[in-house]
Structure 1
Amino acid sequence: MVTHAASLCAAFAYAEFAGMVPKAGSSYTYCAAVLGEIVGWIVGWDLLLEYTAIVAVVAIGMSGYLGFLLEAVGIHLPAWALGAPGTGAGHRIDLLAVAICLGVAWLLTRGTRTSARVETVLTVVKIAIVLLVIVVGFTKVDSGNLQPFAPFGLGGVAYDKLGVTGYGVAEAADAAAQHQGLPLAGSRVALQGFGAVGSAAAARFAELGATIVAVSTAHGVRYDPSGLDVGALLAARDEHGDHFVTRHPAGTALPFGAELTVDCDILVPAALQDVIDRGTAHEIKAKLIVEGANLPTSAEARSILAERGVTVLPDFVANAGGVVAAAFAMDARYSGFRPGTASIFESVSARLRANTATVLDEARQQDITPHAAGRRLAEDRVRAAMQSKGRLPRD
């Protein structure tokens, strides 16, 4: 009761005292200045109780880790020293937690300088642990097991395995090509990147009747103006990894970056950002660029391409298939049933095709680039939503 009353007084005192004194202080200072020494004395003891409880809780948690560490090196403590009464068979006292509390108390009595040195050592240890985790993550963790939201085994959606984003890129490209009067069937498509997005896009392009003339990885480009067999490319990648572009028998091997300027109708940069700059923009032969990667074109490059009559479909439209699929996963995260794959692909196709047409229509009507049109439409939608909820700032 006393602790509750003191905490309530402290809460009221913070706001009052903050407006009176330009210099911050502790809750004890606030209460003593606003409500008098008696309330300040109560709050002071309340803080001591809180700090004591917090240190005890942290020490108990750390003692568990320390106990596991000691056991790993062959040091076994007796059962009576492993926990407080009622926490386990034979437990009498959490000896490790007591030792940690005494160590903290000793450190505080040594003064600020010693505490600062210890804090520096602990900071170095924390940084070392973070670096160790990063190194282990890069060398030991299989990124293929990563699944946003719920894992596949718990009802989640396997985005990369399904190729949702790449599928959406191809669907958006088809809608953009139709908008330009360019039939996708028979069109020549060049893809930069043949990972989760690029390979899935290539498969969908092939289903829609397009001809894949170039694909690339970090190790180079495989180019064939008469068309590459997507199924054979996928099999070669499974066998050789990203090196398949240098070992696949079909077509010609080109250096990385050449896929951006080969003769094609549609170019899909689906690997890296900032790959199409001012210089590359003058050399591109495609009539339509569909951004499968995030930020693959610079603003200057887009201006040059617009002057040349090349349409650039923005990344936030073309590669939004994963976001649509994520909405299904979020909606079903408390359900025992996984979202149906067919409904996900249908929604990705419908939404991305509709957004593509909307953005390109706006760009044509306003005589601006699709990126500018897309941002303007997005801002208008967000503003309308904020206004409907009364969240717009008042003039």
Structure 2
Amino acid sequence: MRNLVRRKAMTAAKDQPEHHRLARTLSWPHLVALGVGAIVGTGILTLIGVGADRAGPAVLLSFVVAGLICACAALCYAEMASMIPASGSAYTYSYAVLGEIFAWIVGWSLILEYSLVVATVAVGWSGYAVGFLKGLGIALPEFLTHGPTADGRFGINLPAILIIGVVAWLLMLGTRESARVNSALVVLKLITLALFVAVALPHFDPANLQPFAPFGYGSTPGEGGVKFGVMGAAAIIFFAFYGFDAISTAAEEAKEPERDLAIGIVGSMVACTLIYMIVAAAAVGALPFGRFSDSAEPLALILREIGQGGIATIVAAAAAIALPTVLLAFLYGQSRIFLVMARDGFLPRGLAKVSPRGTPARITAATAAVVAVLAALTPLDMIASLANAGTLCAFVGVAACVLVSRRRDPDARRPFRVPGAWIVAPLAILGCIYLFTSLQAVTQWSFLVWNLLGLAVYFLYARRRSGLTRS
């Protein structure tokens, strides 16, 4: 038992071997842009349709619920990131505070989160890209625009594979270069959403909000195990808000991590919550939710339905250009988490080697190959839901780290402190657990199976290769 809960002392980035050391090139504006780029993406551009299908116009409340829970989790991340300015996000914090077995479970869940988020966003981007090409009169073969479907149709999502390859190449090119591209695309994305609101808001019709909550306010099982209602939709809409945790993976590349990480996490979360509420209100007010709920490009569809086909083409094009910022942020974050796990011996140590440009090129390429297969062959709602389960586990872990560290070492230096920690952190834990119970049963069982597999890997392989075991 002592080995299972042994904790890892955090090593300063400067103390890492040179071939494992990342270059410090990011300031707080880069981190805010990274957070906004990660948060504002598939959730509002694609999954708003899925959420409306499950909650109706009350999807607005689903955004509020998911946003509040994520805000509590974001504050916990900000405190831990300022205390432990090292790459690895929730995995690193759990290793330092809770112990090795908890770190492994959180890290294993983060593998699920980041891999499936990248795959989900790639599939969402593919929907917009295909729609944009159709608007130009270019039609790809139907079987190359989606993965295998529930009704037995075969397909392979070629656009999703291509965009993952492009983003991976950009990340391997260099962190500063990819950050600059990300910042420019974030600005384009925000302009696109502002354009949608400006055009859709004048068409706001209060009648489209009635009935407001046709499926209720809780979480009601429906056909195929899908959960309906405000909380059922919040469990899937939750995907729209996280992304700020990717900022915490940039700790070893931030110029002043103790200050910049907290600014990036809290700043991006506040900005994105406001953006989401405005866009969601404009969407459900402009068109009855049933007419866009099953679309792969709901915002563009809404614009076409209200007679703004030209603007719809612009929005689809901008989404196709700007959505890769989410891919970039999460593929970036995942490669850094895998880098730390490789340093700790949980993954092959050779993957921790960085390129002459100071980027973990090997592990970025390996990660891109895995998520490309997922994106090519998996339906959007299934992978988004399962990604949420992995994220909820990580958020619970970080909130628990705040409480345990406050109790164990109350006088430790905390450049950022969660206000009302003994209220905020438990709210984050309870909220995440409730959202997990609101996920469909197949997602819950899949997550359980994934973690049982992870525990088997830990006891049969990773535990013996752990850096703490070796030392």
Given the two structures, how large is their TM-score scaled by the length of structure 1? 0.29
More strand by share: 1
Larger radius of gyration: 1
RCO higher in structure (CA 8 A, sep ≥6):
2
More helix by share: 2
Given the two structures, how large is their TM-score scaled by the length of structure 2? 0.25
